[in-house]
Amino acid sequence: MTAKLVVLISGNGSNLQALIDAIRMKVLPAEIVLVVANRTTAFGLERAKQAGIPAGYLLLKPYLDAGRTRVEYDADLAKMLAASKPDWVVLAGWMHILSAAFLKHFPYRVVNLHPALPGKFPGAHAIEEAFAAFQRGEIKQTGCMVHLVPDEAVDAGPVIGVAETPIYRSDTLEMLANRLHQAEHKLLVQSLQRLIVGDDEEDE
């Protein structure tokens, strides 16, 4: 069965692009039915447009400026997605911690990509923190993971896939980031394949 994906982005959208390419090459049995950004400037919106995928954005600031809350934002975001009836909601470079007001609408169906190994460097600066830890001699490698987001814990849900990534003495931060992003693009496709096939097996 072709799984329906909604992809949430905040920036460049290179992981979204990896999904678009994998679907086009028939490597991933899925269809991206909607892309939503939390920034109007997210280049990923342009990538969606180029691929003919419906895309939109929902900004948090107008809520806060109007004295409304993140929970109201999260509930409206869920409504925006629910109409598409996604099988999976993929957080691909999504830089906003989602509350239960969102997550409760898609129980065990939200998938997050994080550029660190399980239990390491949660939050928005994982790559920089791994690079600094390597410089201090505290770690020898890093990596990325795809995990489910059953609750509000940040970058900490049940792990679907992990890719270990080496760090070299000669690395600059940019070289490490590029190596991690390449690993993420592969891992995200592999992890979604696993989830979609798992779904199909459940249906049998």
Which residues contact ligand GRF (rule: CB under 6 A)?
9, 11-16, 44, 92-93, 113-115, 181, 184
Least distance in angstroms from the C-beta of 162 to ligand GRF: 13
**Catalytic site includes residue 125:** no
Give min distance, CB of 94 to ligand GRF, in A. 7
Q: For residue 40, give both structure tokens.
A: 């109007």
The nearer residue to ligand GRF, 109 or 181, going by C-beta atoms, is: 181
CA distance 201 to 179: 33
Q: In this structure, which amino acid lies at residue 188?
A: L
| Residue matched to tokens 């979609």 | 196
- 187 versus 196: smaller Cβ distance to ligand GRF: 187
Cβ-proximal residue to ligand GRF, closest one: 93
Catalytic residue among 96, 114, 147, 181: 114
Question: Is the separation of the CB atoms in 73 and 65 below 8 Å?
Answer: no
Tokens encoding 30: 């899925």
Q: How far is the CB of 17 from ligand GRF (least distance, A)?
A: 8
Vertex 31 angle, CA 29 and 33, to 5°? 160
The smaller minimum CB distance to ligand GRF, of residues 9 and 55, is found at: 9
- H or E segment to which residue 35 belongs: strand 30-37
Query: Catalytic residues, which ones?
Result: 114
